[in-house]
Structure 1
Amino acid sequence: MTDPGNPLIASLARAVEAAPGDVTLRVHLAELLLGDGQQDAAVSHCAAALQRDPGNAAARELMSRAMGGGVTHTEPSAGAAPTPVRGEFDWRQAESDISDVAPQPMFVDDENAPPPDVSAWDVEKSGITLADVGGMTQVKERLTAAFLAPMRNPELRRLYGKSLRGGMLLYGPPGCGKTFIGRAVAGEMGAHFVNVGLADVLDMYVGTSERNIQDVFRLARTNAPCVLFLDEVDALGQKRSLTRSSGMRTAVNQLLTELDGVNDVNEGVFVIAATNQPWDVDAALRRPGRLDRTLLVLPPDQPAREAIFRHHLAHRPVEGIDLKRLAKATEAYSGADIAHLCETASEHALMDGVRTGTVRMIGMKDLDAALREVRPSTTPWFDSARNVVQFANQDGTYDELREWMRKHRML
């Protein structure tokens, strides 16, 4: 801080404060401060001057004097090292000190060191089973025939030559529990579960997506028996004829190679893929030996809707809830839609309590109000599927979907 004892210094300090960008004025103040013995204040003003005008010779010379207490240089004799004077940093001594320290290598390669245990994917142990899936009897039967019965009966499996390799494509509108079913299959089998999404695999750099696909299959084989769940497989395994990017085409090729198990046998690896757009999946992925079984996961049936309502209302303060009436009123609603209905009904009761200052139970009037607000999110999906089942179902792939839509008057 500037000492106000000297009237000239005090006057110049006020002038600098009024015109902080005047470098000449600030250097003059610094010179007076240095002459008055106020080295710290002089250094501060020199630094401010150099910040605005780094090449100012007067400011640099004043800074050198303020920092070094008046440095004088002597000419070294021919061939002799310059001798540092008072206030000058001895660079040669510093270099000598550094050279005494043994240099350490910048990079090391220890072949005996164990590889770090890192993975971009989590290997889980599922705690749910098919008993936790409400309704969906046909879905459970197909899953039992494809995966569960052969695993539970090894003698019959060997007798009939049934392999534990398998792949199934789950398709249907969003929010209907395809991921939940995959976890339930893993829990039913006592197998590990690896959930892989589109963002986990695809990468902008050439070759990285293929390596990611290879790594995730290697992880599944290492942890067999394992259910490998591939979400959004329509994006990962998109029809190569529709893909303009060569990187995407090679990623699809790598996925096909891993499903075939060319380098490793996929025994004990159960691949379950899920998609909302099965008509965009490359036909090669659905070839026998790959994702050769297709399972339609539709909006929950009436018993399933009743179970879903019961689950989402179980831990809320409710009274007089008619689950059967709610289940009948929510045909074509997905499981996610029903969860949103329960959340909306809770909001109605909560806001009513805020307005009246009285806490009350959630009743049917709240759920009826929620039904008037929340519409089924599956409608757009069925609108797009209608064109497929009517005009692109020559091989009968979507016969089951067509029958369901006819039954529910969507065709």
Structure 2
Amino acid sequence: MSLRILAAMSGGVDSAVAAARAAEAGHDVTGVHLALSSNPQSFRTGARGCCTLEDSRDARRAADVIGIPFYVWDLADRFREDVIDDFVAEYAAGRTPNPCLRCNEKIKFAALLDKAIALGFDAVCTGHYARIIDGELHRAVDPAKDQSYVLGVLDAEQLAHSYFPLGDTTKDGIRAEAERRGLAVARKPDSHDICFIADGDTQGFLERRLGKTPGEIVDVDGTVLGEHTGAYGFTIGQRKGLRIGRPAPDGKPRYVLDISPVNNTVTVGPVEALDVTGLTGINSRWCGGTPPIGTARYTAQLRAHGEDVPVTAEITADGGLSVRFDEPQRGIAPGQAVVLYDGTRVVGSATIATTERASVGV
């Protein structure tokens, strides 16, 4: 069945090949580039970002080669409100957000999809590495490129209008295919890190928006070890850049254990104090309808390129989520996302609200 498909084209190789595959499959495809920056740079900085004028032009050239109509849609205001402002607010509250999840939830599969449906399109096509099988979201076949984690915020209705043509292919295969199709972006570097922080300096970005807010860096017993210029400049599990003048008594490195926006304090301690045995989640979003209420076994992914770890999860009738790990995990911070899997199938995701530490008193 031929569909009317809106292909989101970032200017990279993945979205270009996805659009080409959709068109080759006989669908009526229109390409669209999302202008997400109010003041886009002319050129990328290395491999960072995906919102420059250069990217827009690359997307247009790819659409011309494919032979599909192409438009640029300005979603800069929506992106600023739903992604950038949320990112800053989360850091100010002592949490560690994932802006890619928020962008997928609020921009690509809310603002864009809603507009596409209103205009009569059947689905939105993207270059994400994931698969939809019988209406359910699954991991891509290439574990190194699987992006199902950042799509775990999609609900069943959104999945019904989503099209991911790349989930059965490796990245090397996609680049080779782009060359065969004559797409100039075949060897273009992937974008990475945070697209709206082109220089990669997250702390500098936050400082410009939140200002300097000096506070103390303390040990687990409350001993003051140093000072900082903003608690938002730290993440749980961080080791480098702590600027602590006094070494630990055992000579071992210290890690960020806690960030308190209430008293503007950063707590540091030994690496074993990072061990987390469980967590609670809020704002749950289920990919195929609400899973069975109660306790069940799943695997969980805690970061975009993290490992799949076995867990026992309890889902409550009000959408609450509690997760217990078979083995303690490290570097887990409130504000991040936990995504549950049943085999390769994505069950859903939640925002981490609290964590339970193995070490008492941390």
> TM exceeds 0.5?
no
- Specify the TM-score bucket, using the shorter chain as the normaliser: under 0.3
Higher RCO structure, 1 or 2 (CA under 8 Å, sep 6+): 2
Based on CA coordinates, which of the two structures has the bigger radius of gyration? 1
Larger relative strand fraction: 2
TM-score scaled by structure 2?
0.26
Larger relative helix fraction: 1
TM-score scaled by structure 1?
0.24
